[in-house]
Amino acid sequence: MMDYRKYKRGYFLPPVVTHDWVHKDYIDQAPLWCSVDLRDGNQALVKPMNLQEKLDMFKMLLKIGFKEIEVAFPAASDTEFQFLRTIIEEKMIPEDVTIQVITQSREHIIRRTFEALEGAPRAIVHLYNSTSVIQRQQVFQKSKEEIKQLAVDGAVLLKELAATTPGNFMFQYSPESFPGTEVDYALDICNSVLEIWKPDSANKAIINIPTTVENAMPHVFASQIEYIHKNLAYRDGVVLSVHPHNDRGSGVADAEYAILAGADRVEGTLFGNGERTGNVDIVTLAMNLYSHGIDPKLDFSSMQEIIEGYERLTQMRVAERHPYAGELVFTAFSGSHQDAIAKGMQWREKNDSPIWEVPYLPIDPKDVGRNYETDVIRVNSQSGKGGVGYMLQQSYGIQLPAGMKEEMGYLAKGASDQREKELSAEEIYDLFKAEYVDNTHNFELLDYSFKKEGGSIVATLEISKSGERETINALGNGHLDSVSNAFKAYLDVDYELSFYEEHSLGRESSAQAIAYVGLSTGGKVYWGAGIHPDIIQASVHAMLVALNRLENTK
């Protein structure tokens, strides 16, 4: 039995709680993004990236459009140090991109960091020290004033070294383990650091608030951020940043609420990689903005290529249900969902709508490089007529009549259930063709011809059944009517031609045509289809199949 009594809420509310952020119902522009894949994400990998892998990841992040990238903890290892030197010395940092490095507020680590940064064209130096109650008590065994002095001393040294090191530097400070820190105390440390740096609108500093271990509901974090936003010194010269982790599974909500509460910037990783449950997922955050019609300033149009690169470099996997990116996130197996999606897509095409409004699909899958034919509707034993009809139409141009679509839906569901597997478009087409196009097992039409007789058409049919041939003649008011009358005479059966429809399977003049025939008798409709460049032949064949299927019931 789990003992819930040993846990308590470990967060602190600010001295004054306001909820101005609650009155904002959307985010109107993208925040500044900083990818920490190469540092925070990399340190969480079972096998951290080597130099070449880090270079490949750096290039991928640039291609996506990140303008700020935390590239290394230079004092942590030779690989980190060498990577930073490589991108500086090889001039691999684009003019519009700023790299970021991280350092603890410890003198020898700060000095090593500036050694690695020499000659950097644009770099953010990210200073941090832990400030929470349990870290102060259990790890550092220092007082509030002593912890604050660590931050101030680090800020002073950053300013001194930046003045004597070739390069262009911006400063950032994080009260690490903020969720377990008294909010007014964290604010006091941040303002003390800012008093050293004295930023202004032309030379800004960054204050970064991390949910190092997420321990509160997102609205609590928003109230904390709003308090810091309203009481931060030198506010016009400060970029207020957040760095959410995902321990409670609320990292995305933390980031979005924080932006509403006054944050200007978000640090995170692709697909949420990071320590424990990970960092906030920038892919999801950016695509959430995109789905609201806001330019996210990041390009995920080649999502599959990004996934493949990420999985290769990190040896992690993007889950099938990962928002916007997973293999199954745009896929409907449910029959009712499939039907709604199919109708929504048809409505959009018919009305030439510039706005994406399709049931169950928050964004157009094509925007992230997915396709309708293989990703949106897939058929298994839970599927229905809408999905089956949609797949036949998208992949083969076959537009099934409503009644035939329902019957075909049950056929596909049964086959999927029996085979205990999902059916591909090709397998569904094969089922359709076997049942409605090639089904002439009871009798065959070997040949037929027409001639006019007055205002009518005479059909002559040569039929083979069980190895015996017979020729039948019949009169009708058209080609199909005369064929139908001949079949009625041959089979001694009465039915009504209750449905007939045809359409082309392509736009070229030589394209195949498909005809559908529905024959009603005894309260049931028997369906058949014919495919041929000549529509008369397609129609006659469709009737032949429908009658073969009727014969199966005798």
Which of the four pLDDT bands, split at 50, 70 and 90, describes residue 510? low
Residue 384: pLDDT above 70? no
Which of the four pLDDT bands, split at 50, 70 and 90, describes residue 413? confident
Q: Is 245 exposed, middle or buried (0-12, 13-18, 19+ CB in 10 A)?
A: buried
Tokens 């499939």, residue? 338
Q: Are 34 and 101 in contact (CB under 8 A)?
A: no
Q: Computed from CA positions of residues 238, 239, 245, 246, in that sequence, does the dihedral angle turn out positive or negative?
A: positive
Can you give the pLDDT at residue 60?
98
Nearby residues of 15 by Cβ (< 8 Å), 6 or more positions away: 183, 184, 227
Which residues are registered as beta bridge partners of 358? 361
Residue 135: pLDDT above 80? yes
Q: Is 272 exposed, middle or buried (0-12, 13-18, 19+ CB in 10 A)?
A: buried
Can you give the pLDDT at residue 529?
95
Distance CA 243, CA 207 (A): 10
Residue 246's alpha-carbon distances to 107, 258, 284, 337, 553, in angstroms, are 31, 14, 13, 31, 61
Q: In what order do the strands lie in the sheet with 496-504?
A: 496-504, 513-521, 524-532
Q: Are 321 and 397 in contact (CB under 8 A)?
A: no
Residue 509: pLDDT above 60? no
- Which residue in 38, 66, 75 sits closest to 279, CA to CA? 38
**Could you give the domains of the chain?**
29-314 (3.20.20.70), 335-435 (no CATH), 444-551 (3.30.160.270)
Q: Give the mean pLDDT of 450-477.
A: 88
Share of the chain above pLDDT 90, in %: 73
Can you give the pLDDT at residue 511?
77
- Secondary structure (3-state) at 126: strand
0.85 cut: is pTM over it? no
Distance CA 518, CA 525 (A): 6
Residue 390: pLDDT above 90? no
Average pLDDT, whole number, for the chain? 93
Can you give the pLDDT at residue 377?
67
Q: For 332-362, write each residue's pLDDT tens digit.
A: 777 788 788 888 988 998 899 899 999 999 9
**Hey, what amino acid is at 287?**
M
Instruction: Tell me, rounded to whole angstroms, the distance of Cα 451 from its chain centroid.
Output: 60
